[in-house]
Amino acid sequence: MTNCPDEERCLHLLEVILDDESTPEAEQEYFEHIDQCWPCYQNYNLEKAIRKLIKSKIENKPVPDGLIKSIKREIEKITIE
């Protein structure tokens, strides 16, 4: 397995691309690069999997019953004052 000559830069680029904050040019450059760079291709898959993991496995807590109601009540108090 060969190393990537510029792995650190590629990783930064990958992050920005997955965050959807990149440019089409940078994206093209990156995807052309990972076609021929095994470590970067692996990093790409891993990073994507981690993002997916975070989104799918971290559960949301349900909002407690009556929270909006109690906020509305408090707001009403301010309005009356």
Partner 1 sequence: MNQMSETKRKRYSEAEKTKVFDIEFYPHIDSMYNFAYRLTFDEDDAKDLVQDTYLKAFRFIESFQKGTNAKAWLFRILKNSFINDFRKKSKEPSKVDYQEVESYYNSGDVDKTITTDLRVDSLKDMMGDEVTNALNTLDVDFRTVIILCDLEGFKYDEMARILDIPIGTVRSRLHRARNLLRENLRVYAKTMGYVKKS
Q: Binding residues for partner 1, per CB under 8 A?
A: 7-8, 11-12, 15-16, 19-21, 39, 43, 45-46, 49-51, 53-55, 57-61, 63-64, 67-68, 70-71, 74-75, 78-79
Rounded Cα gap, residues 17 and 12, in angstroms: 9
State the binding partner of 37 from Zn ion, partner 1, none, CB within 5 to 8 A by kind.
Zn ion
Rounded Cα gap, residues 81 and 76, in angstroms: 9
* Opening angle at CA 14, ends 10 and 20, nearest 5: 145
Residue 38 or 74 with smaller CB distance to Zn ion: 38
